[in-house]
Amino acid sequence: MLKVDLAVIGGGPAGLAAALEARKNGIENILIIEREKELGGILQQCIHNGFGLHYFGEELTGPEYAERFVEQVKKEGIAYKTSTMVLDIRPDRTITAVNSTDGLIKISAACIILAMGCRERTRGTLNIPGDRPAGIFTAGTAQRFVNMEGYMPGKKVVILGSGDIGLIMARRLTLEGAEVKMVCELLPYSGGLTRNIVQCLEDYNIPLRLSHTVVKIHGKDRLKGVTVAKVDSNRQPIKGTEEYVECDTLLLSVGLIPENELSRGAGIQIDPVTSGPVVDERMATSVEGIFACGNVVHVHDLVDNVTMESITAGRNAAKYILSCKDTRSVGRSIKTVPGHGVRYIVPQRISDLENIEELKLFFRTNDVYRNALVVVHFGQKTLYSAKRQKLAPGEMETVKLKSEALAELVCDTSCDELKVDIEL
């Protein structure tokens, strides 16, 4: 049994930032476990730029952003194992992992940070009827083929879903000589960042068909075409609007799902809306000594936010290891409650009120709102209120509560719910 103070599951941007922050806070014996051949996670295949504007104040590609953390990890001498898959995590923080050289590895960790990231939704979860030919990929799989392996998944492409990876791939495949015929989005608005719609679609005259979906797949061996149709306000296809589009490739960019099979195995409470662990402001999960950060908690649009969140997790994990104080026994706690127009809030609870220095609430709306107020209520009191020009489900929103607001949380013990509302 290998004994470590901190095991970090996943060597992507979340895991790397968390490990570095823990080291900075005095933790020596750290092990990062990564299933790929290299550290860096999904950033390694994101060769476009636009990363780091918020955190580094400059525009980097995915691999460049990752490299800054990988270099630091190596410089700090933090131990890591690549090509290693974690098979199981127990609530007592024993980990079973496997690779080709060590065989099965049993690790006993004083503390664990979960940073496994997320995976893409597939055709199956969408239930698109029709044939089952080759040529249907999730956008991320196609991205790996093009950017990492050097192969083209296809030449004539339709993209279903306007998530960011789909938008990025529309541009990428166009630059590589493919014809991207259209991007269909089921909802009346895009799920991606505005900057990606402009830079990846509009700049290349790729049509974005809002309120459209793929209703049938044609082609027995390789994809030959898809039928697309307009949908009504209940997202049901409208008869008579069907249109056949010839294509050899269908990319799916229809959402990401935090990957929490290991977390479930460890008995961690999962939020059904985010599909990630329920966490508090320290990124502590419901199981003692297990923290989580990044896309395994909730899907982020910007890696910069992942880094910030992971720094929080790393710092608090270090504090836990050094103090040995149960992360769950912290007296009074406050629940965050999604109010009108809000789909979810992370953190889901605030539990270490005595030591709270700052509080950031990350949330997503359930629809597009213009010139709306974001209001944070605590019982009868309003702790925050600010106007936003536009709120959209595709863009994560942040509210930072000031120290006066935090003082209210600590003092008013009659209330245990912090509610965020969108007010028009």
Partner 1 sequence: MNYDVAIIGAGVTGAFIARELSRYDLKACLLEKEADVAMGTTKANSAIVHAGYDAKHGTLKSKLNVRGNQMMERISRELDVPFKKTGSLVLAFSEHDLATIKDLYENGLKNGVPGLRLLNAEEVIRLEPNVNPNILGALYAPSAGIVCPYELAIGAVENAVDNGVDLKLECEVRDIRCTGDIFELITGKGAIRSNYVVNASGLQADIISSMVQETEFSIRPRKGEYLLMDKTMGNMVNTVIFQPPTRMGKGILVTPTVDGNLLTGPTAEDVDDRDDVSTSPSGMRRIMEEAKKLVPNLGFRDVITSFAGLRAAPDTGDFVIEASRKVKGFINAAGIESPGLTAAPAIGEYVLELLKEQGLALKPKDNFNPIRKSIVHFRDLNDNDRNELIRKNPMYGSIVCRCETVTEGEIVDSIRRPAGAKNLDAVKRRTRAGMGRCQGGFCTPRVVDILSRELGIPPEEVTKKGLGSNILLGKRG
Q: Which of residues 261-320 bind partner 1 (CB under 8 A)?
A: 261
> Which residues are paired to 6 by β-bridges?
30, 111
β pairing state of 103-114 and 290-292: parallel
Whole-angstrom distance, CA of residue 79 vs CA of residue 82:
10
Q: What residue type is assigned to position 135 of the chain?
A: G
Q: Rule CB under 8 A: choose which of 154, 225, 276, 294 binds partner 1.
A: 154
CB 402 within 8 A of CB 409: no
Q: Which of residues 66-85 bind partner 1 (CB under 8 A)?
A: 83, 85
Whole-angstrom distance, CA of residue 65 vs CA of residue 55:
10
Size of the site for partner 1 (CB under 8 A): 51
Report the residue number, 217 or 297, with the smaller CB distance to partner 1.
Answer: 217
Q: Rule CB under 8 A: choose which of 1, 75, 77, 100 binds partner 1.
A: 100
Report the residue number, 138 or 336, with the smaller CB distance to partner 1.
Answer: 138
For residue 304, the minimal CB distance to partner 1 (Å) is 25
Report the residue number, 34 or 352, with the smaller CB distance to partner 1.
Answer: 34
CB 297 within 8 A of CB 323: no
Q: Does residue number 171 form part of the binding site for partner 1 (CB under 8 A)?
A: no
Which residue from 6, 190, 189, 26 is spatially nearest to 108, judged by alpha carbons? 6
Cα angle: 212, vertex 216, 221; to 5 degrees: 135
Which residue from 214, 213, 216, 217 is spatially nearest to 133, judged by alpha carbons? 217
For residue 227, the minimal CB distance to partner 1 (Å) is 11
Q: Does residue number 248 form part of the binding site for partner 1 (CB under 8 A)?
A: yes
Report the residue number, 20 or 184, with the smaller CB distance to partner 1.
Answer: 184
Q: Rule CB under 8 A: choose which of 90, 195, 222, 400 binds partner 1.
A: 222
Report the residue number, 275 or 305, with the smaller CB distance to partner 1.
Answer: 275
Q: Rule CB under 8 A: choose which of 221, 354, 357, 404 binds partner 1.
A: 221
Whole-angstrom distance, CA of residue 9 vs CA of residue 312:
16
For residue 393, the minimal CB distance to partner 1 (Å) is 19
Report the residue number, 142 or 306, with the smaller CB distance to partner 1.
Answer: 142
For residue 98, the minimal CB distance to partner 1 (Å) is 5
CA 104 to chain CA centroid, Å, is: 29
CB 89 within 8 A of CB 292: no
Report the residue number, 89 or 334, with the smaller CB distance to partner 1.
Answer: 89
Tokens of 181: 């015929």
CB 169 within 8 A of CB 258: no
Whole-angstrom distance, CA of residue 307 vs CA of residue 38:
19
Q: Does residue number 230 form part of the binding site for partner 1 (CB under 8 A)?
A: no
Contacting positions for partner 1 (CB under 8 A): 35, 83, 85, 87, 96, 98-104, 119-120, 122-125, 127, 129-135, 137-138, 140-141, 144-146, 148-155, 176, 215-217, 220-222, 248-249, 261
